[in-house]
Every structure is written in structure tokens, then in C-alpha cells.
Amino acid sequence: MAARHLIIGGGTAGINAIRTIREEERERSEITLVSAERPYSRMVLPYFLDRSIAESHVYTATPRILAEWGVKAHVGRRATSLDPKGSVVTLDDGKEVQVLRGELLLEGSGQLALGRSAREGAADIITFERDRRAIYRVA
Ligand SMILES: Cc1cc2nc3c(=O)[nH]c(=O)nc-3n(C[C@H](O)[C@H](O)[C@H](O)COP(=O)(O)OP(=O)(O)OC[C@H]3O[C@@H](n4cnc5c(N)ncnc54)[C@H](O)[C@@H]3O)c2cc1C
């Protein structure tokens, strides 16, 4: 049975994990990505702010690339709870994603908010998806 990977968060860690899995694996695995935002790189934001790069260059993995990698993508969906016993992750639309004999990567600069395990103040963390309109106003 092919390995199954569930990756939560389409930031630098998540997208590099997917790229590395595809480069290194011998047998093609099943990869599911749950990402609250379109995959993008935080570290290029200063270049976007000073208009050195266009918004399109902030994004790291387009739907076309994700399709080429054969990733089952749930973009715009947030993982809200994790049941480690049943290996089930629930999404904010009520869907459940099961990880069987697979791997689970939780990422997000220590901000990943899963139910009550969310760290204090996580709601205040700025995200590109939520705040890019404000960025456009000041840029
Ligand atoms: C201005 C700036 C410049 C930087 N420059 C550098 C640099 O030069 N070199 C360097 O090494 N680092 C740099 N960094 C730091 C670097 O950007 C971060 O270390 C890196 O983005 C962390 O990657 P990550 O994938 O862990 O998390 P993130 O990039 O934070 O991505 C996490 C993703 O997960 C999503 N997510 C969170 N919770 C959930 C959930 N429950 N369900 C689904 N999705 C969820 C978020 O929406 C987000 O898209 C910089 C950061 C900034 C802001």
C-alpha cells in the first residue's frame, strides 16, 4: 500500500515537504494538502511591499503545480481538530480526512490553530490572504 501524507498548511514548510516527497519517493504516495490560504511565501512579502515583485510571484504552488504533483488540495479550508487516536483531521466545512499508516505534518510558524490547542493570540496573526487588501492600500 502506498504511503499517505496529510500536510496542513501551504507555507514554506508544507510546499517544500510536498516537493521533497515527490523528488525522493520511489513509489508515488498519496498527498493531501489542507491549507487555509493559497500557498505563498512569507519571506518575499517585503519585495511585494516595495513593488519589486508582482502578487503572482508571492504564490509558490499554483493549482496547476499542485495538480502536476498529484496533490489532493483543500485550499481555503482550515483544519479545526485532530483526533490522534483515529488519525482523523476535521476541516472547517465538517469534512474529515483520515490518515492511515501515513504521516502528518502540522506546520505554520507555531501558529497552527487546531481547536483549543491554539496558542493565545493566534487570531491576531497577520496572514496574506486576510490582509493583502490592507497591504495594497499602504503599498
Ligand atoms: C517579512 C518576512 C521575511 C522573512 N525572511 C526570511 C528569510 O530571509 N529567511 C528565512 O529563513 N525566513 C524568513 N522569514 C520566516 C519565514 O517566512 C518563515 O519561517 C516561514 O514562512 C515558515 O514557514 P511555515 O510553512 O512553517 O509557516 P507559514 O509560512 O506561516 O505557513 C503556514 C500556512 O499554514 C496555514 N494554516 C495555519 N493554520 C492552519 C490550519 N489550521 N489549517 C490549514 N492551514 C493552516 C496558514 O494559512 C499558512 O498559509 C521571513 C518572514 C517574514 C514575515
User: How many whole angstroms separate alpha carbon 48 and alpha carbon 135?
Assistant: 9
CA distance 33 to 117: 20
Q: What atom in ligand 1 is closest to the CA of residue 77?
A: 43
What are the angstrom distances between the C-alpha of 24 and each of 60, 107, 111, 113?
A: 20, 20, 28, 30
Length of the chain equals 139
C-alpha cell at 104: 502528518
User: Which residue's CA lies nearest to atom 27 of ligand 1?
Assistant: 108
For residue 14, count other CB atoms closer than 10 A to its CB.
22
- 4-138: CATH topology is FAD/NAD(P)-binding domain (3.50.50)
pTM, two decimals, is 0.83
Gap from CA of 110 to ligand 1 centroid (Å): 9
CA of 97 to the centre of ligand 1 (A): 23
Q: What tens-digit pLDDT sequence spans the chain (139 residues)? A: 778 888 989 999 999 999 999 999 999 999 999 999 999 999 999 999 999 999 999 999 999 999 999 999 999 999 998 776 767 889 999 999 877 655 556 655 544 444 444 344 334 445 666 666 666 666 5
